[in-house]
C-alpha cells in the first residue's frame, strides 16, 4: 500500500492538531470479535493513541454500560 497514513487521514495530524481523543471507526469495532485483522488494527490504534496520551473511543460503544443494573 503506497503512502499509508498520509492524505486525508494522515498520521501527522496526531502531532499537529490539539487532539485529546481518538475515535476508532465502527467498521473495525463491529468486526473485532470475528475478524482477527480488525482486532489487530484496533489494538494498534489504541497503542498509537496511548503514546501522546490520547484517550480512545470505540465508535458505536461510546457509552459505559452498567453491568449491575438495579
pLDDT (tens digit, 9 = 90+) per residue, 4-30? Answer: 566 766 777 777 888 888 888 888 888
What's the pTM value of the predicted model, to 2 decimals?
Answer: 0.70
d(CA 4, CA 63): 31
Q: Which residues, in sequence order, are bridge partners of residue 2?
A: none
User: Which of 10, 15, 23, 6 is closest to 57 using CA atoms?
Assistant: 23
Contact 8, 14 (CB under 8 A): no
Q: How confident is the model at residue 56 (pLDDT cuts 50, 70, 90)?
A: confident
Q: How confident is the model at residue 36 (pLDDT cuts 50, 70, 90)?
A: very high
What residue ranges do the domains of the chain occupy? 17-58
User: Which of 6, 19, 27 is closest to 51 using CA atoms?
Assistant: 19
Amino acid at each position: 500500500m503506497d503512502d499509508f497514513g498520509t492524505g486525508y487521514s494522515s498520521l501527522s495530524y496526531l502531532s499537529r492538531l490539539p487532539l485529546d481523543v481518538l475515535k476508532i471507526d465502527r467498521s473495525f469495532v463491529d468486526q473485532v470479535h470475528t475478524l482477527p485483522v480488525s482486532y489487530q488494527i484496533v489494538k494498534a490504534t489504541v497503542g498509537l493513541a496511548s503514546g501522546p496520551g490520547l484517550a480512545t473511543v470505540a465508535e458505536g460503544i461510546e457509552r459505559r454500560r452498567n453491568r449491575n443494573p438495579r
